[in-house]
Structure 1
């Protein structure tokens, strides 16, 4: 297994180092600005000198995307990807068990990170000021300890994703849209239009959603568990269960100082869902608080 350094006389670009690598090799990027690159070799580690010090901001790797992963067990770590006309980082379909760690993706015209593969880990990343979605993830991925700020939508997820301890802040639309069969645990949603939109069969546990222009948590589908979350100081409702949503369990949440209602369930949602143990100042209908 070999360590290659970029830039050197032998490897003036990241792509040159990748093309000369074998599975299990590592590539260190020094301080500076580099063109985009495409990872096509299995089990590579490509790491820079840190966010804001190693920057991918030149020619794109594919189309208008900065970094494209077409391999398994890749580790990307310690650099910034910025200013691409499409997206910063793309993990292509069918590729899995990749780790994107301590990466910043910012000021891209569309998305910060696109995760189309499965079983990937996105850890300690910063995704900021992308004009569309901060992180788009299809299925079976874990996003943990990331900060998503000033994106149109912080996170847009498909199915079976896990979100743990992320910060979603100042999203133009929704801080997080959670698809189906996913888990959101101890995330924070602040100062967006809506904090969290929930589809079906999700577990929403111990999150905080505050100071959003509309609703803290919006439930528009079925079979979710909304447990022990905190919603406060949202300009409409803290938790809003839409009239067509059924078989959701809303329990032991705390909702205070929301401008319209702390918990709102438009009939017949108040009868078609289970509410118990919620602490709140007011609700519609009134019996949803204890």
Structure 2
């Protein structure tokens, strides 16, 4: 195992990667460096911290992305990626770890997860022209203690199964804070605040997602919305406050053909137009239990 320093030993990160073998480490010192592609398994690539080590300028070879990972078991940690024509970071592979990475001001998404079984922890995704996190078609990924703020798309977009979003934040995004467009995802303990659409949206026909103990507040659309045909989702112990701007919104909104979902133990207050709304026949096709709210449509969905 060898430690290589950039720019001391190699002028570019790509040159250091090209000289590396599995198990090696690369330390990027403070400064600004071009993008790179990681094509050697089990490398650790560290910067000197967000805002000190900055990846910008020429994209990774053969792409318009800043950092592209095409090998497994890569660690990326402690640097900023910014200003690329497409994605800030694109992870094509599996079992990688990203920690304390900032990805901002990219034309595409801040981070795109194509691979599976990746861990993204304590990352900041800011002011990108598309989604903050685009999890498509990756599955079995875990995003923990991250923030995805002020992006022109959705804060977090999930388009495959068995992903987890835990203890993270979506704030002031142009679209939804969180979009779930598939099944068997777990969303626990997150904050979705001041987004220009819905706080959390479960897409049409998607099922078996667990939406638990999240805070949705001050979103322009509904705090939590379950679209037509969504089924067997658990909306449990969430807080929805001050969401909605017109009569099509609610703190928690269940569209008419959604069925067999469980909406229980949620607290909803000061939402427009209703704290909980189930468009018939969704009021009888789903289970409502123990919800605390000021009003509902139809009446009786609150305790």
What is the TM-score normalised by the length of structure 2? Answer: 0.94
Match of 2:95 in 1: 97
Q: 2:82 matched to which residue of 1?
A: 82
Is 1:34 aligned with 2:41?
no
Q: Where does 1:121-200 land on structure 2 (aligned, <5 Å)?
A: 121-137=119-135, 138-151=138-151, 152-157=153-158, 158-178=160-180, 179-192=182-195, 193-198=197-202, 199-200=206-207
Q: Which runs of 5+ in 2 are unaligned?
A: none
| Shift of residue 140, structure 1, vs aligned partner | 1.0
Following superposition, the deviation at residue 110 of structure 1 comes to: 1.3
Structure-2 separation of matches of 1:146 and 1:191? 17
Give the 3-state SS of the residue equivalent to 2:300 in structure 1.
helix
After superposition, give the CA deviation of every residue in 1:140-173 in whole Å (9 maximum; x if it has no partner). 1000100000112101112110000000001111
Mapped to 1, the partners of 2:290 and 2:218 lie a distance apart of 23
Output one character per residue of 1:164-213: Cα deviation in whole Å (capped at 9) or x when no partner: 00000011110011131100000000001210011321001000000000
Question: Distance between the aligned counterparts of 1:171 and 1:280, measured in 2?
Answer: 26
Aligned to 2:232: 223
Shift of 1:214: 1.1
How far off is 1:232 after superposition?
0.4
Q: Which residue of 2 aligns with 1:246?
A: 259
Equivalent-residue separation in structure 1 for 2:277 and 2:173 (angstroms): 23
Query: Quick one: distance in 1 between partners of 2:46 and 2:57?
Result: 17
Give the SS at the match of 1:17. Answer: helix
Secondary structure at 1:127 match in 2: strand
SS of corresponding position for 1:153: coil
> C-alpha distance in 1, partners of 2:200/2:293?
19
Aligned equivalents of 2:121 and 2:256: distance in 1?
37
SS at match of 1:136: strand
Select 1:273's aligned residue among 259, 283, 286. 286
Task: Provide the rounded CA distance (Å) in 2 between the counterparts of 1:24 and 1:99.
Answer: 14
Following TM superposition, by how much is the alpha carbon of 1:259 offset from its aligned partner in structure 2, in angstroms?
Answer: 2.0
- Alpha-carbon separation, structure 2, partners of 1:225 and 1:113: 27
Provide the rounded CA distance (Å) in 1 between the counterparts of 2:168 and 2:193: 11
Comparing 141-150 and 171-180, the one that deviates more: 171-180
Q: Which residue of 2 aligns with 1:287?
A: 300
In 1, the alpha carbon distance for the partners of 2:194 and 2:243 equals 9
Q: Which has the higher strand share?
A: 1
Q: Name stretches of at least 5 consecutive residues in structure 1 with no aligned partner.
A: none
Q: Secondary structure at the match of 1:288?
A: coil
* Paired residue total: 287
Q: Which moved more, 1:180-189 or 1:191-200?
A: 191-200
For 1:210, the equivalent position in structure 2 comes to 217
TM-score scaled by length of structure 1: 0.98
**Alignment of structure 1 residues 40-51 onto 2, 5 Å:** 40-51=39-50
